[in-house]
Amino acid sequence: MKKILIYNGQLFMGGIERVLISYLQGISKDKDLDITLLIKENNPAKNVFYKDIPENVKCEFIKSEKLVEMRENISKKRGNIFYRAMYQIVVAYERLEMKRWLKEYFKNNSYDSVIDFDMSLGKYLDEVPYEKIGWCHYSLEAKKGKKRERFRERLEKYDKIVVICDEMKEELNEVYPTVKDRGVRIYNPMDIDEIIRKSEVEKISGSYMVAVSRLVPGKGRLDLIDIYLDLKKRGVKEKLYILGEGSERAELQKRIDENGLQDEVLLLGQKENPYPWMKNSKMFLHPSYGEGLPTVLIEAMICKSIVVAYDCPTGPKEILGDGKFGALIPLGDKKKFGDSVYEILENENLRDEFLSQMKTRVNEFSVHNIKEEFKNLVGEKTT
């Protein structure tokens, strides 16, 4: 039996955390693996995925709920110079305490492999005396100059580096050649049956298109409103539902109001179960400017929602088979994006072709297939 520790900074509502839970639910059933989950912060109010951790996965926290609450209370008062100084002191203390905690923890607990699932262990990797596996979820090419050099130094501390699509593997080889032999490509796992089950718990009425992501710069939500405005002028009646929360919400609402789209474009906030919204939609729109492997596209395909996405680095081209399994649009080309959406809405034969092709593609991401690759990664060979 292999003892595996998986570290992640948080269990907030996010793409990495959703993938982590999918892994845990898949691999925890395997009797050859003993899994412990280590989370940086005990934050019950925000760790929404805590309840989804399988019962046979042990879960530990580094920072106590009391310490996290104290830091957050001080953070809210940082407009005051005293609290600003206090905040810096607390953060510095947390770093020292985390280093001490990890050193003590690994003195008393042994593992075959330690997986840094969100690659946030960073400065603390030297405290890990076992096989270290870094899990990279985003494009490796974006970092420039000194940031790229610092990231290279961090990558060199890992024994293995997991990337989540072939494009990222190519980036690793080209941008960080000193670690290219450590790269392993493993797709994000999808529990297809569970996603289908969740997609059927609720029926969303009306004719609409949907987008699901955090409302942050880089996800192309402002582009999406411009695209929809053009589609409305062309007579499109479907509404646009945008699911998610983030720092851009106010700016998005302002853009919606300025263009008189309050009745057509709705910001519906964060949905713990977005799958019914995908299943009942006419189309899934994803004008993102950067990803790793955007799991949300695969989820949409499982829910039989036709995907239209920017060809951003990395993932959409690979998931959509260069346009075979969904519409792939040149990065930033809002006109072509709108043209593609309009064509799919108007052309039933094109819709049927995409829906037919999607069925075979999604099976490649099944949790069963990915579980076997995970076991090979940690040295537990499958039979």
CA distance 316 to 212: 15
pLDDT score recorded for residue 314? 85
CA distance 196 to 206: 20
How many Å is the maximal CA-CA distance in the chain? 66
CB-based contacts of 283, cutoff 8 Å, min separation 6: 209, 210, 238, 305, 306, 307, 308, 341, 344, 345
- pTM of the full structure: 0.75
pLDDT, tens digit, 9 for 90 and up, residues 8-53: 988 887 888 988 998 998 898 888 899 999 998 888 777 888 898 9
Strands 239-243 and 208-212: parallel
> Domains of the chain by range and CATH?
2-63+93-188+366-377 (3.40.50.2000), 192-364 (3.40.50.2000)
pLDDT score recorded for residue 381? 46
pLDDT score recorded for residue 380? 54
* Number of C-beta neighbours around residue 225 at 10 A: 20
* Number of C-beta neighbours around residue 82 at 10 A: 10
* Positions in the chain short of pLDDT 50: 381-383
pLDDT score recorded for residue 29? 85
DSSP string of 172-235, one letter each residue: HHHH-GGGGGGEEE-PPPB-HHHHHHHHTS----S-EEEEES-SSTTS-HHHHHHHHHHHHHTT
231 pairs with which residues across the strands? none
Residue entry with tokens 């395997």: 30
Q: What's the DSSP call for residue 292?
A: B
Backbone angles phi, psi at 76, to 5 degrees: -65, -20
